[in-house]
Chains A and B, each alone.
Chain A
Amino acid sequence: GQSLEQPSEVTAVEGAIVQINCTYQTSGFYGLSWYQQHDGGAPTFLSYNALDGLEETGRFSSFLSRSDSYGYLLLQELQMKDSASYFCAVRDSNTGFQKLVFGTGTRLLVSP
C-alpha cells in the first residue's frame, strides 16, 4: 500500500518563502502531485513531478527525489490568499493508475 506523511501545520508571514515536505512509502512509484484546498473549497491541482528535480510554476515550485522517497512544495512571495491546506498525492499502480492516495495534508497559515 501507500502512505504519505506531511507536517500538520506550517506558519509564515507575507512575502516569505515556505517549504512543505512530503515523504512517501509506495509499492510502485508513479509520480507525486500536489493539490491546494482553501477552507470550505474543493481541492485544486497545483503540480506534478514524475522525475527527479524541480518543476516551477510561477510562485510555486515542486521538487522530487525518488531515491529519498521525498518531495516538497515551495511557495515563494507568500500572499494571504495562500493560506490553505496542501496535499501531496501518489498514483496507485494496482488500480490502473486511476487512484490517487492523498497525504495527511498541511495547513499553511500566512500572517501579515
Chain B
Amino acid sequence: DTAVSQTPKYLVTQMGNDKSIKCEQNLGHDTMYWYKQDSKKFLKIMFSYNNKELIINETVPNRFSPKSPDKAHLNLHINSLELGDSAVYFCASSRRTSGGLRAYNEQFFGPGTRLTVL
C-alpha cells in the first residue's frame, strides 16, 4: 500500500560513478518531483514532471538527468558523482495545482534515498 516508493533507500558509491534512483507512485497523481535535502536539512526542488512533460528544471548540474517513462514513474540518473552530491533525495507526487488561491494539492513524499559519495 506504499503511496510513493523509492529505490534504493541507501546508496554508497565512489566519486566519478554513475547511479540511478527510481521512484513510483500509486496515488494516481499526474505530477512528480525530485527534491534534494542537504546536511543542513534545506529542502530544494530539482525537477518536476507533469504527465511525462518536464515543467520545472532548476539550476542543477547537467550531470543530473530525470526521466519519466509514464506519469507514475520518475527516475533520476546522476553521472560522474561528486562529493557534493551527497544528500538525501526525495521523490514526491501531487495532483497538478491550479492557480486559484484556495486550490492546493499537497505533495506526498517518498521515504528518500540517502546518497553518500566517497
Interface residues of A (CB under 8 A from B): 30-31, 33, 37, 41-45, 48, 50-51, 85, 87, 91, 93, 95-102, 104-105, 107
Contacts and interface: CB of A to CB of B under 8 A. Distances in A.
- Which size bracket describes the interface of B in this complex? 20 to 34
Given A95-B55, A98-B55, A99-B56, A42 B44 contact: no
Nearest to A85: B41
Given A42-B112, A99-B48, A99-B56, A105 B43 contact: yes
A98 B48 contact: yes
Contacts of B55: 95-96, 98
Contacts of A102: 42-44
A93 B99 CA distance: 8
Nearest to B111: A42
B102 A87 contact: no
A90 B95 CA distance: 17
Contacts of B110: 42
